[in-house]
Structure 1
Amino acid sequence: MNVGEHCHRGVISIADSADVVAAARLMRDQHVGFLTVYQQGDDLRRVVGVLTDRDIVLQLTAANRDPRATKVQDVMTRQPLLANDSDELRDVLQVMRLAGIRRVPVVDAHGTPTGIIALEDAIELITGLLCDISGSIQTERRHEWRAQA
C-alpha cells in the first residue's frame, strides 16, 4: 500500500510571509489544524514548512507574542518530514511514530504538495480492513452453520 492511495488530497497552504492571524483564519475557514507552508513567490508551492494550531497556541499565545507582528515563517516547523505518493504507507507510519508526528505532507516528484497523510487515515484504513476480516469470519460461520443444518 502506498501513501498516495490513502492520503487526503485537499492541501491547504499559506505563504511563509503571511502573518499568523491570516494563518489562523485560514485554518478556521477551512476547518483544519494543519497548513503546509511555501516560500512566497514559489508558483509550485513546494513545502518549506508546516504550521499547526498547536504551534500557534504554544509559540504565540502561551509566549504572549503579537500574532499580527509574527510571520508564519517565525513559528512554523522547518524542513518537515515529507512523503512521496509512491512511498510505502507502512514505512511512513513508522517514521511518523518515531518522530512523534500526526500528519505528513505528501508531495510529487517536483516537491509540489498533493495530499496529507494523517494517523487518522491509517486508523480508518485499519478499521476497514478489520471489518473486512470480521465479515469474512462471520460469513464462514454462516456457511458452516447452513452446511450442518
Structure 2
Amino acid sequence: MNIASLCRREVVAVPAAASLPQVAARMSEEHVGSVVVVSGEDPPRVTGILTDRDLALDVVGRGQSGSNLSAGDLARKSLVAVPGSASIQEATAAMEKSGVRRVLVVDEAGRVVGLVAAEDLMAAIADELAQLARALRGGIEREKNERKPTSAPAGPRPVFPAFGTGVK
C-alpha cells in the first residue's frame, strides 16, 4: 500500500497573509485539523503547515487573541514530504525522524497531492491487522472442518482459577 492511496481528504490551503481567526474559521468549515499555508505567488508555493494544535498551544494557551498574527507567522516552516509511492513504514520513519504528526505527499514533480496524518496511518495499519485476524480465524475454521478428531478426548478439560487468584 502506498501513501497516495491514504490521501482521502483534499488539502486545504490558506494564504500566508490570512489572519488566525480566518484560519480557525476555515478549519471549522472544512472540518480539518490542519491547513497548508501558501505564498501569494502564482503558482502558490507551500510555505508551512498550521494545525489546530498550533492555534491552541501557541496562541490560546499563551493567552493571546491571535488577531494580530497571520497564518505565515505561526505556521511550521520545517516541512516534511514523502513521495506518493512511499510505504507506510517510510512515512512513519519520516514522521519519527522529524518529530511531526503530518507529512505532505508529493508527486514526481514535487507538487503537493495530499497530506497524511498519523491517525490516517494508524487506521491503515489497524485495517491490515484486522484483515490478518480474519485470515487467522478463517484458517482455524477451515482446519476444524477439514480435520476431524482422530480420537475421543482424553478426559474432562481442566478448569483453572481466574487469572490473578491464588489457589488455596
Pairing 1:116-135 to 2, within 5 Å after superposition: 116-135=115-134
The percentage of counterpart residues that share the same residue type is: 27
Paired position in structure 2 for 1:99: 98
Rg bigger for which structure?
A: 2
Q: Per-residue CA shift, 1:92-148, capped at 9, x if unaligned?
A: 211212332211121223443211111112211211111221111111111211123
CA distance in 2, matches of 1:109, 1:17: 29
* SS of alignment partner, residue 77 of structure 1: coil
Paired position in structure 1 for 2:54: 55
Q: Tell me if 1:7 matches 2:7.
A: yes
8 Å CA contact 1:47, 1:111 repeated in 2: no
* SS of alignment partner, residue 86 of structure 2: coil
Q: Which consecutive unaligned segments of at least 5 residues does structure 1 have?
A: none
8 Å CA contact 1:46, 1:112 repeated in 2: no
CA distance in 2, matches of 1:50, 1:118: 12
Q: Tell me if 1:115 matches 2:104.
A: no
8 Å CA contact 1:27, 1:35 repeated in 2: yes
CA distance in 1, matches of 2:141, 2:104: 44
Q: Which consecutive unaligned segments of at least 5 residues does structure 2 have?
A: 149-168
Considering Cα pairs closer than 8 Å and 6+ residues apart, tell me whether 1 or 2 has the greater RCO: 1
Q: Tell me if 1:74 matches 2:69.
A: no
CA apart distance, 1:75: 0.7
Paired position in structure 1 for 2:140: 141
Q: More helix by proportion, 1 or 2?
A: 1
- Taking structure 2 as the reference length, the TM-score comes to 0.79
Letter in 2 for 1:121: D
Letter in 2 for 1:147: E
8 Å CA contact 1:9, 1:114 repeated in 2: no
Dislocated runs of 4+, deviation >4 Å: none
* SS of alignment partner, residue 78 of structure 1: coil
